[in-house]
Copies of this chain bind each other. A is one copy, B any other.
Amino acid sequence: MMGLTHLTSSDRMHPLDQAIALRATSRHEFTGATHPAYANMVGPFGGTTAAQLLQAALVHPERLGEPVALTVNFAAPVADGEIRLVSRPVRTNRSTQHWIIEAHQAEGVVATATAVFALRRETWSNVEAVMPTNVPSPDGVPRMSLKGTPAWPQRYDMRFVEGAFPAAFDEQEQAHSRSTLWVRDEPARVLDFAALAALSDSFFPRIYIRRRRRSMVGTVSLTTYFHADSALLVQVGTRHVLGVAKALNYRHGYFDQTGELWSPEGQLLVSTHQLVYFKD
């Protein structure tokens, strides 16, 4: 009991909230930092960087509405340490707002983003994408082994139904790179836009699933469309969402992959696409 009263606010915060915490330094500038809980092999997990860039618009006092589209370009390796975010609403209309966001470190721009925010209205709604069927519930699927992983996959509870990260790089090329998994933040956390932005980058690079071969990879551009609004995200709460991902094309050093995140009730929360550099 005594122990708890000694905890600082930051100790009680979810690691994602710690990782995306920003301090305003001027009208359009914020300071954040990489967080060891989301470390990758080298530098931070790109999903957390994407969430930080989005957060620099979400917490901006001039923000209008909620995000509907986010594109993050990863311009250079992010070094562990402080990140300066410059976040500018370049156009504000009646129901939409357009952002340009830059992430700077000592040696220059490390990432850029554009985002579209909007005030939504109820309209005719429909889903044409197809959620996988006959998927066992999260309780019926074992959690991915975390043996030997960097920090960031430990911040997710991933339960692969299909297309898990290979247990060994045995170079047995697979027919496709499709994955289906239940995933949520670990520890559990109510879903919000920052969490969705990070989750959108949590699909492992498809080339590993496809080729089961060690290779150097790095996302260069990540686009996420948010179909969910905050009311729907609160309904999903802390539960797992169903992720699906697949590659489209690999050619001359770059491949693209596309992913979806579905609510347990079958609502498409986001569709997300990325272009990835690879070296074979």
Contact = CB atoms under 8 A, between A and B. Distances in A.
Interface of A: 68-69, 71, 73, 75-76, 90-91, 93, 96, 98, 100, 102, 108-110, 112-114, 116, 118, 120-129, 176-177, 206, 210-211, 220-221, 223, 225, 227, 229, 246-254, 256, 258, 260, 267-268, 271, 273, 275, 277-280
A156 B245 CA distance: 33
Contacts of A90: 75, 102, 109, 112
Given A100-B112, A118-B253, A126-B249, 8 more contacts: A69-B73, A71-B71, A90-B109, A96-B277, A124-B250, A127-B250, A221-B223, A258-B271
A246 B128 contact: yes
A271 B113 CA distance: 20
Nearest to A107: B91
The 10 closest A-B pairs by CB, nearest first: A75-B91, A69-B221, A120-B252, A129-B248, A71-B71, A75-B98, A249-B268, A125-B251, A223-B223, A91-B109
A123 B246 CA distance: 20
A265 B113 CA distance: 35
B223 A71 contact: yes
A248 B122 CA distance: 18
Chain A binding surface SS class: strand
A275 B271 CA distance: 10
A121 B225 CA distance: 31
A271 B252 contact: no
Contacts of A109: 90-91, 98
Contacts of A247: 128
29 contacts: A68-B221, A71-B223, A73-B98, A73-B116, A75-B91, A75-B98, A90-B102, A91-B108, A96-B277, A98-B109, A113-B114, A114-B114, A116-B221, A120-B252, A123-B253, A123-B278, A123-B279, A125-B252, A126-B250, A127-B250, A128-B247, A129-B248, A221-B223, A225-B256, A225-B275, A227-B254, A249-B271, A256-B271, A271-B273
A100 B98 contact: no
Nearest to A125: B251
Contact of A128 (B68, B221, B249): B249
Nearest to A213: B124
A252 B112 contact: no
